[in-house]
């Protein structure tokens, strides 16, 4: 049988066989999602009651609908062959760049431009950009690192195209400004390049160049003023407790008030208009206040298990594209959770970044469940390959 005929036979076999998806990963996603909805409801009730005409269910009704839609999307995507994604690499990148440009012309909210008002939902282009980076990087790395030849160790193929993509996307996101999202996307991209086989020396050179670019920003742009204020009030939030330091201080009060076992589900005091955005970026402090250290540790362990299971799926993937997609999407969830928890505990400067599956946001939750569906799809074909 010719090579072309054998390839066609394998593809036909893949279409006919139905492997079971990774059950531990699916269970972890469902547990985190349910716990996230419960905590988001508890954290958002007071804000919804005071700011939305006495409707304490304002946020959970919308988040619940998006969760239901996301679960349907996750199930459908999990049943499909994930290889179809490679056909949409260019359209996804084109849409991503278009949205990142359009958002710069929108009306600023709290001094930043991160959302596009699309009627029933607000689209956050950075959420789509995260997925786009994972998709294009997985596609290019799989293309450049075949069994016959590994081009990822050269500058032309293993560095230049990836740096160009990261630089343009990061440049647009800094204009919003969205520093935390920029850091997240750069971290995801570098992780995938490292796993894909880019030489370490290029990372050393890249870090040096990034340091030079940062120095240039300090000297010649106003972007650094935005970051400087965050640094000043990160070091000493009590320097301006009624304004710049308010959010961080109230977050720390909530975390400290929880103690070991917490005040009990629904019994947070800081969510009553003290902690800003308790249903969004600062849902974790409310969780700590209500469920205590025990609840916080359980959530962190659940995220750690999710990341571990995602990497297991990546290691068992039948091809390089699937492995890299699983690595990229799993890394996104893990890094985003780490950054959010670090911000709310004042471990790093305050930046706007959501906690996956917990923070309010329809488009974000939908994208997360869509991405979990992709990982589940990869796990199905891993089972087929082993069989």
pLDDT in tens, 311-354: 999 999 989 999 999 999 999 999 999 999 999 999 988 877 89
Nearest to 129 by CA among 180, 92, 178, 171: 92
Contact indicator for 114, 47 with CB cutoff of 8 Å: no
Quick one: CA dihedral 82, 87, 90, 94, positive or negative? negative
Does the pLDDT at position 208 exceed 90? no
How far is residue 213's CA from residue 226's CA, in Å, rounded to a whole number?
A: 16
Q: Which two tokens stand for residue 117?
A: 């008002």
How far is residue 341's CA from residue 35's CA, in Å, rounded to a whole number?
A: 16
Q: What is the pTM of this model?
A: 0.89
pLDDT digits (tens, 9 = 90+) for 161-185: 999 999 999 889 988 888 888 889 9
Decide: helix, strand or coil at residue 84. Answer: helix
Alpha helices in 82-154 (DSSP H): 89-102, 125-144
Does the pLDDT at position 126 exceed 50? yes
pLDDT digits (tens, 9 = 90+) for 41-100: 999 999 999 988 889 999 999 999 999 999 999 999 999 999 999 999 999 999 999 999
How far is residue 224's CA from residue 226's CA, in Å, rounded to a whole number?
A: 5
How far is residue 313's CA from residue 333's CA, in Å, rounded to a whole number?
A: 15
Does the pLDDT at position 386 exceed 60? no
The number of beta carbons lying within 10 Å of the beta carbon of residue 76 is 12
């Amino acid at each position: 049988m010719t090579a072309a005929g054998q390839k066609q036979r394998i593809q036909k076999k893949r279409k006919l066989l139905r492997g079971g998806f990774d059950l531990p990963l699916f269970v972890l996603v469902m547990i985190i999602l349910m716990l996230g909805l419960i905590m988001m409801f508890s954290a958002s009730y007071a804000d919804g009651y005071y700011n939305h005409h006495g409707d304490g269910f304002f946020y959970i009704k919308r988040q619940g609908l998006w969760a239901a839609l996301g679960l349907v999307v996750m199930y459908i995507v999990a049943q499909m062959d994930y290889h179809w994604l490679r056909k949409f690499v260019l359209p996804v990148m084109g849409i991503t760049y278009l949205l990142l440009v359009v958002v710069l012309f929108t009306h600023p909210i709290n001094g930043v431009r991160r959302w596009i008002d699309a009627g029933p939902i607000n689209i956050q282009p950075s959420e789509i950009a995260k997925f786009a980076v994972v998709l294009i990087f997985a596609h290019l790395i799989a293309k450049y690192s075949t069994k016959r030849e590994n081009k990822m160790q050269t500058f032309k193929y293993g560095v230049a195209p990836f740096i160009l993509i990261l630089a343009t996307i990061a440049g647009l996101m800094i204009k919003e400004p969205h520093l935390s999202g920029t850091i997240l996307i750069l971290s995801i991209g570098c992780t995938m390049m490292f796993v894909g086989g880019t030489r370490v020396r290029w990372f050393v050179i890249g870090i040096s160049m990034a340091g030079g670019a940062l120095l240039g920003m300090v000297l010649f742009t106003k972007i650094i003023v935005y970051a400087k204020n965050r640094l000043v009030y990160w070091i000493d939030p009590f320097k301006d407790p009624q304004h710049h330091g308010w959010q961080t201080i109230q977050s720390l009060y909530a975390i400290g008030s929880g103690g070991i076992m917490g005040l009990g589900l629904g019994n947070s005091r800081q969510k009553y208009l003290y902690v800003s955005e308790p249903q969004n970026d600062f849902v974790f402090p409310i969780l700590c206040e209500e469920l205590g250290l025990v609840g916080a540790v359980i959530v962190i362990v659940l995220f750690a298990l999710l990341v571990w299971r995602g990497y297991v799926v990546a290691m068992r993937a039948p091809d390089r594209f699937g492995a890299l997609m699983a690595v990229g999407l799993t890394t996104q969830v893990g890094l985003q959770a780490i950054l959010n928890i670090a911000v709310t505990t004042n471990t790093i400067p305050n930046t706007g970044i959501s906690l996956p599956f917990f923070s309010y946001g329809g488009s974000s939750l939908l994208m997360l469940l869509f991405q979990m569906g992709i990982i589940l799809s990869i796990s199905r074909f891993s089972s087929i390959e082993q069989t």
